[in-house]
Structure 1
Amino acid sequence: MILATGLAALCLAALHLEVRLLAPALDAPRSPWLSAAGGAAAAYVFVHIFPGLCDGQEALRRTGWAFVAVLDRHVFLIALLGLLVFYGLERAALAARGGRQNPPVGAGSRGAGVFWLHLVSFGLYNFLIGYLLVNRVQPGPVSLVTYFAAMALHMAAGDYGLRRHFTDDYRRLGRKVLAGAILAGWAVGTALRVHEAVLAILFAFLAGGVIMNTMKDEIPLDGSGNFPAFALGATGYGVLLLLV
């Protein structure tokens, strides 16, 4: 299984490095393929991750940790936190650009700090994705394939957003850092497995991040999302997950 997860990590890293080659087919007007990919990633969260978080909630209760006695629905609050973190990042990038229609943020502009904030945040996000390739709540080859496919689709759509905000900086540095973060997360995952309750927290944060990073491109103010393609991707991958 280590070999299989390692191959999956390499493929996800290569996707970050080379998905730009598909840019003419994916860029504005926003491709229906990106919307379908976002729908599939969202379906994975709602059909696969969220039900698993209920088991994670029980794992948290069994730990007896102090904060568990204070808060209820802990893993779902973590998912909400993930959504809020990436919502804040998106708002910061839009503010630095002065709107979606303005040029991307450059390293020498007033938004340089926003680029580095995104780079660190998405680097940690990709590290988490790589780590969870090895340490998933539900182990096994079927779980690996569905997780890998959902994250690959999610990253293809996410890459579009990062290139849109930070074109030159992302091409020169960002994509390399994010590709390396996936491999680093996988490497740590092969050597370190955390408590099942911590694993549930990590998956919850990932779920919130996936939902936000998907929907921010599907419901922008300029209306560039593609609802039929998004619905088709969500329905198709949702049915597939139910069948496996």
Structure 2
Amino acid sequence: MTVDAFLLVTIYLLVQLLANRLISSSKIGRFKWLSFSGGVAVSYVFVYILPSMHREQEDFPGDMGLTMESEMYVLGLGGLLIFYGVHKAAERASRNHSQGEGQFFWIQMIFFTMYNMLVSYIVFASSIEGARALFYGTAVGLHFMAVSHDLWREDSKRYESVGRFMLAAGIFGGWLIGVFAPLPEQVLAIVFAFISGAMILNVLKKELPSEENAHFKTFLLGSLGYTFLTLSLKYFFDW
């Protein structure tokens, strides 16, 4: 276990447990926080996730009987569709039952706990280490914060009492597996593609600020700033 992995998981856990207090107590303001986070997340999808999926596709072994040359993208689509389908099914259940809102919240919490675990696993099982891991990991931390705040807005009482601890447990579980029991590279590539599709959905659905909540200048700052830094680091240091 490296020092940067321990530092990163500690930051993730603190963000997950204290996200809403950080956002609400910040002088920056909630809308600016979320707009900046959304900008970074959108940039992260286009300048890191999609190129990484392309590289994984190129490295994906052809001796497994899969010759479509688009397996990673199909798996990513599968992740997006599954998470979207679960969300719509839970939403429908909430409308059809007297306790629907509570059921909808807990179904979401279970799936986002799994989501956090898989995202955390990908971060800590990858070969990226040091300052590079901390840089890309920052975008993931902001993503965790934005998703947490969205779930908190849906049911703040349940989220504060139980939900945030479930999500933190997912992050901790992913860290344990990624650091102490990493899966083979082929499995890692499959998990990465699947969860990337789910992350793209969550970024567009939960982090892209709505018109009434958006602070466009801050969103633009997060998006263009993170893009510029990422491209500069790739160009000068081959990140």
TM-score normalised by L of structure 2: 0.83
Which of the residues 80, 84, 90 maps onto 1:87? 84
Distance 1:151 1:219, change over 3 A: closer
Report the count of equivalent residues: 229
2:151 maps to 1:157: no
Question: Which is further off, 210-219 or 46-55?
Answer: 210-219
Matches within 5 A, 1:1-244: 2-24=2-24, 31-62=31-62, 64-66=63-65, 68-69=66-67, 71-92=68-89, 109-136=99-126, 138-217=127-206, 223-244=212-233
Distance in 1 (CA, whole Å) between partners of 2:211 and 2:44 is: 26
Question: Deviation of residue 195 (structure 1)?
Answer: 2.5
Question: Deviation of residue 228 (structure 1)?
Answer: 3.3
Distance in 2 (CA, whole Å) between partners of 1:14 and 1:48 is: 24
- Whichever residue aligns with residue 76 of structure 2, its letter is A
Name the % identity. Answer: 32
Question: Deviation of residue 76 (structure 1)?
Answer: 1.3
C-alpha contact (below 8 Å) 1:41/1:210 kept by paired residues:
no
C-alpha contact (below 8 Å) 2:9/2:175 kept by paired residues:
yes
Distance in 2 (CA, whole Å) between partners of 1:17 and 1:76 is: 33
C-alpha contact (below 8 Å) 2:105/2:155 kept by paired residues:
yes
Distance 1:167 1:92, change over 3 A: farther
* CA RMSD in angstroms, aligned pairs only: 2.6
Distance in 1 (CA, whole Å) between partners of 2:88 and 2:23 is: 24
Question: Deviation of residue 226 (structure 1)?
Answer: 3.6
C-alpha contact (below 8 Å) 2:115/2:195 kept by paired residues:
yes
C-alpha contact (below 8 Å) 1:56/1:197 kept by paired residues:
no
Distance 1:234 1:222, change over 3 A: closer
* Residue matched to 1:103: none
TM-score normalised by L of structure 1: 0.82
C-alpha contact (below 8 Å) 1:37/1:154 kept by paired residues:
yes
Distance in 2 (CA, whole Å) between partners of 1:116 and 1:12 is: 22
5+ residue gaps, structure 1: 99-107
Q: Deviations along 1:25-70, whole A, 9 cap, x unmatched?
A: 57xx9612211111112212211221122221133233x224x23x
- Whichever residue aligns with residue 47 of structure 2, its letter is V
5+ residue gaps, structure 2: 234-239
Question: Deviation of residue 90 (structure 1)?
Answer: 4.4
Distance in 2 (CA, whole Å) between partners of 1:129 and 1:83 is: 14
Distance 1:209 1:35, change over 3 A: farther
Q: Deviations along 1:208-238, whole A, 9 cap, x unmatched?
A: 2222222213557764334433232111101
Question: Deviation of residue 78 (structure 1)?
Answer: 1.9
